[in-house]
Structure 1
């Protein structure tokens, strides 16, 4: 029974935290008050629900309790400022007036946390705290910094929101796409860190990838017609579907070509494919051209549709990369395209393209991983060994280092 109750409270926390915090932020206009009051409401639930039972409407119970906590805090303040007076004048039945193209408190909070005026690392931390409900300790652990450092980062972000008078609202229709791009970038960075941890002892950070997917589903519910929102969710689902096959029992990274496709999550793949088909239909019907997340999702759909790595339609993947390069000609995108070119036109052609990127990617470990593999396939073992050494030096993930070390040691 205690286990069931704990699971219920955890589930309610995951489902309701963002909604409660966002509603309090709209009402009181202060992130600190909203966060603290929500945390106190959940703490009260942990104390009372074991005796009273989970209420029929947990979200409503938490919102009411948190609102009382917030008002109590304001009343306790020694100085009665205008914020205090304004808050006391707001009654629970005050109608909410929409002030954006999409009226949802959680979406407002997402856009506030991911405002372009904040540094990227602050956006990630604030989003995980205010929307994801992760503790400061959890966020600090995820990004391998001291808890005090992460607390300061979040505090500074809140202070900047107050000082710069960053509005708690969804952007206007005219500039929403620009702001959505920043939001999606933050969510994808969170997922990417979970998918292949950049540092630390854990190869994968499942908590981060799960949280990013949850945020992606939230954004999809709030912005169902945004192609890039759908594309990002599809990309994360199709990538995460391979999670169980990505690390061997010995703790070594398993590349896509060598993964046991029977271990892939077919439910996530089916959901991701459905989202990709939805976007293809929208584009075919005259919708906007696909963006980077939609193109990447389509590539992953091609990979996950192949029953065996040898069945992969590399010509289709290269064609998708050509479209991606047209909108994002960054060195990293061109490096990834070269990997596909190696499967279509051979390692020599790909290596010539990769070597032209060294000026920009010398400090990027994936550049050296790609060069090492291409040199190995061309039987240029000594050069491959040097490239593997540099890749191992730069790689922060333990599973990837183990894989690269084995590949290097297999060279003649």
Structure 2
């Protein structure tokens, strides 16, 4: 039953109650779903929610679906109708059309593609069924065809990732400077041998000691001059390329909402941090195996690569595999910094093992937020078109054991 239908039913029930207080009138107003099933709860009616998932090809999608199904239950005042499109857009459109024919109250749609939705969304609008998009938007000129889009704030994630990388690189420079300072203050083996030789000669012959001191002084001056010449030469040879932080990105599916937003995020990073350079970008098709191939290619083309962004934990693990096989290291104090987006159990475990530097969460637990939005719409309270779930990140500075133990995806 749609929202308009429920309103008419309520008005009719009130009129009937005025005329008669019979149980027949009460049965029309309370204690039933749109299908007439008896309710054993405090709710006068169940809000029926049609949930169209794009597919179940990943543990993230499984957790996302579970969040909706655990939220939209009878004990919370809902009845869920679920359909898995199996990554087939034609089937997904048919699923949504089926929800409309059933007369559901709301539709939650995770669209496979951004295009091709105008007709079916127009049908939902005519039936007064609000549509909440999740994870991906749709390409339409009429934004009134859907109530809002709920998902991860990819733009905010990119800003956080850029700030995290900047702070990490600064800490690395501080550690490097401290090591160099300690090394410069420690006496070299040659200096120690010269000192021992000088002491011996002084004890045996004072005149020879004088000659030896002069000789040592000349050697030190010569050594100092040579070292200075080498330092000057090294400084002259150091180019802008040597101090540039070379970055690569293993991307999500090209053209997806996530990939496009992250591409804008990379551009913003490069504008803010002038010594960063994006040297390679290629999709890894959200596959560990494909990401390994892409990372291998990056390493062959850019041997001085310093940072890689992987737009999913699965692809980050593939990149880590390729780095290990190349003989390089990654993670904390490694040759290459690996930054991921996902926050999955496997990703957090890789952080704990020191292979992955950080993973930024893409929270699949969207059910409670979707329910909150539905309740606002039920109360005719306006909502913003863009809605986001709360998210965080995980790096090696945190105690990750409890987080890993309780992770569901």
TM-score w.r.t. the length of structure 2 is: 0.21
Larger Rg computed on CA atoms: 2
Considering Cα pairs closer than 8 Å and 6+ residues apart, tell me whether 1 or 2 has the greater RCO: 2
